[in-house]
A and B are shown apart, each in its own frame.
Chain A
Amino acid sequence: MMNSTSASPAEPTISVSGDGTDARRNSKRPKYSRFTQQELPACKPILTPQWVISIFTLVGIIFVPIGVAALLASNDVVEIVDRYETECIPKNISDKIGYIQNPAISKKCTRVLKVPKDMDKPVYVYYQLDNFYQNHRRYVKSRNDQQLRDKSKANETSGCDPEKTTANGMPIVPCGLIAWSLFNDTYNFTHSNGETLTVNKKDISWKSDRNHKFGSDVFPKNFQNGTLKGGKTLDPTVPLSKQEDLIVWMRTAALPTFRKLYGRIEVDLKENDTITVELENNYNTYSFGGKKKLVLSTTSWLGGKNDFLGIAYISIGGVCFFLATLFTIVYLVKPRKLGDPSYLSWNSNRLMQ
Chain B
Amino acid sequence: MKRFVYINDDSFQDSFCDNRISNRKYTILNFLPKNLLEQFSRFMNQYFLLIACLQLWPLITPVNPASTWGPLIFIFSVSSSKEAWDDYNRYLSDKKANEKKVWVVKEGIRNQIEAQDIHVGKIVWLRENDEVPCDLVLIGTSDPQGICFVETAALDGETDLKTRVIPSACVGLASEQLHKIKGVIECPNPDNDIRRFDSNMRLFPPFLDNDICPLTINNTLLQSCYLRNTDWACGVAVYTGNETKLGMSRGIAEPKLTAVDAMIDKLTGAIFLFQLVVVVVLGFAGNIWKDTEARKQWYVMYPIEGPWYELLVIPLRFELLCSIMIPISIKVSLDLVKTIYAKFIEWDEEMFDQDTNTPAHAANTAISEDLGQVEYILTDKTGTLTENSMVFRRCCISGIFYGNENGDALKDAALLNAISNNVPDVIRFLTVMTICNTVIPVKSIGGAMMYKALSQDEYALVNAASQLHMVLISKSGNFLQVNFRGVALQYEILDILEFTSDRKRMSVVVKDCQTEKIILLSKGADEAILPHASVAGQQLRPFIDAVEQYALLGLRTLCFGWRELDEGEYIEWSRMFKEANSTLTDREWKLAEVCQKLEHHIEILGVAAIEDRLQDGVPETIETLRKSGINFWMLTGDKQKPRGQLLFLNGRTEDEVFRSLEMVLRTMKITSSEPKEIAFVVDGVALEIILKQFKVSFTELATLSRTAICCRVTPSQKAQLVELLKSCDYRTLAIGDGGNDVRMIQQADIGVGISGREGLQAARAADYSIGKFRFLKRLILVHGRYSYNRTAFLSQYSFYKSLLLCFIQILFSLFSGVSGSSLFNSVSLMAYNVFYTSIPVLTCFLDKDLSEKTVMQNPQILAYCQAGRILNPTTFAGWFGRSAYHALVVFLVTMHAYAGEKSEIEEVSMVALSGCIWLQALVVTLEMNSFTILQHIAIWGNFLAFYVINSIVSTIPRLGMYTIMFRLFRQSSYWVTMILILAIGMGPVLAIKYFRYTYKPNIINILQHQERSGGPVYAMGIGNLESQLRPMDSDLSSLSVTQSKSRNTVHEPLLSDSPTATRRSVGPSTFEFFPSAQSRLSSTSTYNRNFKNN
Contacts and interface: CB of A to CB of B under 8 A. Distances in A.
Interface of A: 8, 10-11, 26-32, 36-38, 40-47, 49, 52, 55-56, 59, 63, 66, 70, 124, 126, 128, 132-141, 145, 159, 162-163, 177, 180-181, 206, 208, 212-213, 230-231, 251-261, 284, 287-289, 301-304, 306, 308-309, 312-313, 316, 319-320, 323, 327, 330-331, 334, 336, 338-347, 350-351
A42 B931 contact: yes
Given A32-B349, A63-B983, A343-B1001, A259 B354 contact: no
Given A43-B930, A351-B1021, A137 B820 contact: yes
Contacts of A66: 976
Among A135, A137, A230, find the residue whose CB has the most chain B CB atoms closer than 10 A: A137
A341 B1017 contact: yes
Q: 9 nearest interchain CB pairs?
A: A339-B1009, A36-B347, A181-B299, A339-B1010, A347-B1021, A254-B908, A42-B930, A137-B819, A40-B932
A252 B891 CA distance: 18
Given A138-B302, A259-B901, A346-B860, 20 more contacts: A8-B354, A30-B346, A41-B933, A42-B932, A44-B1012, A47-B997, A55-B990, A70-B976, A124-B901, A138-B819, A230-B299, A255-B903, A256-B816, A260-B901, A304-B901, A306-B897, A312-B893, A339-B1015, A341-B1017, A341-B1021
Given A30-B347, A303-B973, A338-B998, A59 B987 contact: yes
B958 to A, nearest CB: 8
A303 B1020 CA distance: 62
B972 interface: yes
Contacts of B58: 159
Interface string B967-1004: 10001110011001001100100110110011101010
B344 interface: yes
Contact of B293 (A55, A137, A140, A288): A288
B839 to A, nearest CB: 18
B1025 A256 contact: no
A44 B902 contact: no
Nearest to B314: A137
A239 B993 CA distance: 59
A288 B821 contact: no
Contacts of B71: none
Contacts of A301: 972
Contacts, number: 280
Contact of B980 (A134, A316, A339, A350): A316
A251 B1006 contact: no
A56 B983 CA distance: 10
Nearest to B896: A308
Interface in B942-971: 957-958, 960, 962-963, 967, 971
Instruction: Sort chain B's interface into a size bin.
Output: 35 or more
Contacts of B980: 309, 312-313, 316
B987 A316 contact: yes
B883 to A, nearest CB: 21
Contacts of B298: 181, 284, 287-288
Nearest to B911: A254
B823 interface: yes
Contacts of A319: 987
B696 interface: no
B32 interface: no
B300 A139 contact: yes
A181 B298 CA distance: 9
A341 B359 contact: no
A138 B812 CA distance: 15
A325 B436 CA distance: 85
B591 interface: no
Nearest to A342: B1021
B1003 A344 contact: yes
Nearest to B900: A259
Contacts of B816: 133, 135-137, 140, 256
A319 B987 CA distance: 10
B905 A341 contact: no
Given A29-B359, A137-B62, A177-B299, A256 B815 contact: yes
Given A254-B905, A255-B895, A339 B1006 contact: yes
Interface in B842-870: 846, 848, 852, 858, 860
A43 B1011 CA distance: 12
27 contacts: A29-B359, A30-B359, A37-B348, A42-B930, A49-B994, A66-B976, A133-B817, A135-B821, A136-B821, A137-B819, A138-B819, A177-B299, A208-B962, A252-B904, A253-B903, A254-B812, A254-B895, A254-B898, A255-B903, A255-B908, A260-B901, A319-B987, A339-B1011, A342-B1021, A344-B1007, A347-B1022, A351-B1024
B977 to A, nearest CB: 7
A339 B906 CA distance: 50
Nearest to A251: B904
B934 interface: yes
Nearest to A261: B901
B909 interface: yes
A288 B957 contact: no
A41 B846 CA distance: 11
A62 to B, nearest CB: 8
A330 B357 CA distance: 57
B359 A162 contact: no
A250 to B, nearest CB: 10
A257 B1006 contact: no
A132 B62 CA distance: 20
Contacts of B895: 254-255
